Amino acid sequence: MAVHVYTASGTVLAFLMVIAAFEGDAIRALWISLAALVIDGTDGMLARRLRVKETIPSFDGARLDDIVDYITYAFVPVVLLWTGGYLPEGTLGGVLAALPLMASAYQFCRVDAKTDDHFFLGFPSYWNVVAFYVIIANLSPTTTSIILTVCSILVFVPIKYIYPSRTKAFRRTNLAATAAWLVAYAVLLTQMPDPSMLLIWLSLLYIAYYLLSSVYLTLTGKSARPTAQPEPVQPA
């Protein structure tokens, strides 16, 4: 049950992020978001190692994880962009804020959102990552609008995106690259409000690797599990 409490603590972090957003402290919100990322990246491994599903079969940890992820990965990042003035004013801004919320609501209800071979199907609602780059790079509302629109469309495009902690293909590289990106995330926050553009571009290499690897595995079919080979028939 302690693992489930650990997962559920993400909702508390989301609440603290909303408070920081409305207080105009985006950097504090991003620090809290980093903590939420760490929790989300480790709770599943803990649950599998401790066989939580077998120990407490009456509690749906996957549903809890989806609830926490929607709040921390979709809802709160949109609030952060809205309160920070990174979206256009008026009705257009409201529509653009609704796009990721609605697209992610659809995705989180898909039974195949997480595939049997441990990939995400469609853009995996990494709106927290989008918000991070919008804020540290101080992107304009126009640029932010384009990114939100494109990523919302990609939710419906059947590309299989790497699940860093579970996808078997390139697993060691994925874990090492993700860890390096998290370090870059923290360093960039310490440099605010004058982050290193070089470090921003270096961190974006991970995003490029993630996207290109996902597309490559999807197009080549290497993301799929190998089919079981039939056993040879023994002669009578």
Own/partner contacts of 48-57, CB < 8 Å, gap of 24 or more, are 50/3, 52/3, 52/4, 56/1, 56/4
Cα(122)–Cα(107) distance, rounded to whole angstroms? 8
Question: How does DSSP classify residue 160?
Answer: E
- Is residue 225 over pLDDT 80? no
> 2-220 adopts what CATH topology?
Four Helix Bundle (Hemerythrin (Met), subunit A) (1.20.120)
- Helix-strand-coil percent breakdown of the chain, rounded to 5? 70, 5, 30
pLDDT score, position 224: 57
Q: So what's the pLDDT on residue 235?
A: 47
Q: Would you state the pLDDT for residue 223? A: 60
Classified as helix, coil or strand, 120 is: strand
Residue-wise pLDDT for 181-219, tens only, equals 999 999 999 999 999 999 999 999 999 999 999 999 999
pLDDT at 232 over 60: no
Which one is predicted more confidently, 61 or 19?
19
Confidence category of residue 44, pLDDT binned at 50, 70, 90: confident
Spell out the alpha helix ranges (H) of 141-192: 141-154, 171-191
Q: Does the structure show a pLDDT above 80 at 234?
A: no
Burial 197-217 (b: 16+ CB within 10 A, else e): eeeeeebeebeebbeebbeeb
pLDDT in tens, 166-187: 899 999 999 999 999 999 999 9
Residues 62-102: tens digit of each pLDDT:
999 999 999 999 999 999 999 999 999 999 999 999 999 99
- Which residue's structure tokens are 């309160």? 83
Residue 233 has pLDDT above 50, yes or no: no
